[in-house]
A = this chain, B = another copy of it.
Amino acid sequence: MTEAGSAPEKRKRGAKKSPPRFSREQADVRRSMLIEAATRCLSVGGIGAFTIDRICREAGVSRGLINHHFESLDGLLVEVYKSSLYASVNNQIAEAKRRRAEASDWPPEASLAALVRSNFSPDYFSRENLLIWLSLWGEIAVNPRLQAAHRELYDAYRAELAEDIAAVAIPRLRQVDAPSLARNFIALVDGLWLEWCLDESVVTPQAAEAAGFEMLEAQVGPLRDG
């Protein structure tokens, strides 16, 4: 502590004054920083890297800060789930609802196609994103709090997808079990994500998207052309 330090540009007049040892942040800002650092740890090293030490080092803060801003490490994990997965899926749901409401701009086929494509867009279908999902899946099966959040989220997504499917099938007079098809489609997407995550050479994002469309088109007819 007697050294001059490595970032002395901040000191203004008194030559004796050492630069600040840390910067204060608003509580919610710091929380976000910690959640992002924790997410990064998860995407790199899986659930085994989700520890106080590594997250704080990744965030560049001291060890005590997580328990100051979150009830526990487990609480932070739930927040990571909410901010990283919950938020992105809910975003997809909201956009789908908006499209379905704007019936003039978005015919049912285009709305459903857009929802399908969003699943395979680089925003979601990325390796780092998938590692987060994979890590959390293993925890959801064991952690009741995560399990509750997961079920709520997937129920909502399945319901929205089923509505989009029905909106296409009904005008075409097709007999389709929309809820089941929605569930099977989500399973296929998750499965393809999984395959890609464990072995990139097996499937490309393009092939995965094609597989998704094929499953739906087998029941409701063409979605991509026209």
Q: Which of B142, B150, B194 contacts A187 (CB 8 A)?
A: B194
- The 22 listed contacts between A and B (C-beta, < 8 Å) are A46-B139, A46-B141, A137-B138, A137-B198, A140-B198, A147-B199, A154-B202, A183-B195, A183-B202, A184-B188, A184-B192, A184-B214, A187-B191, A187-B194, A188-B188, A188-B191, A190-B190, A190-B191, A190-B194, A190-B195, A191-B194, A214-B218
Instruction: Say how many copies of this protein the assembly contains.
Output: 2
Min CB gap A132→B, angstroms: 11
B191, A186: Cβ atoms under 8 Å?
yes
Contact B139 A137 (CB under 8 A): no
CA distance A189 to B218 in the complex (A): 18
The residue of chain B having its C-beta at the shortest distance from the C-beta of A49 within the complex is B142
**Chain B: CB-nearest residue to A147:** B198
| Cα–Cα, bound, A180→B188 (Å) | 13
Cα distance, A47 to B218, chains bound together (Å):
39
Interface pair A187/B186, CB less than 8 Å apart: no
Asked if residues B141 and A198 are in contact (CB atoms below 8 Å), the reply is yes
Is B46 touching A154 in the complex (CB atoms < 8 A)? no
Q: How far is the CA of A135 from the CA of B202 in the complex (A)?
A: 21
A161 contact set on B, CB distance < 8 A:
none
A101 within 8 A of B: no
A59 at the interface (CB under 8 A from B): no
Give A122-138 interface residues, CB cut-off 8 Å to B.
131, 134-135, 137-138
Chain A 150-207 interface residues, beta-carbon cutoff 8 Å to B? 150-151, 154, 158, 180, 183-184, 186-192, 194-195, 197-199, 202-203, 207
Contacts of A144 in B (CB 8 A): none
Given contacts A138-B138, A186-B195, 6 further A-B contacts (CB under 8 A): A137-B194, A150-B198, A151-B199, A188-B188, A190-B190, A214-B218
Q: Is A45 an interface position by the 8 A CB rule?
A: yes
Give the complex CA separation of A197 and B147 in angstroms: 11
A211 at the interface (CB under 8 A from B): yes
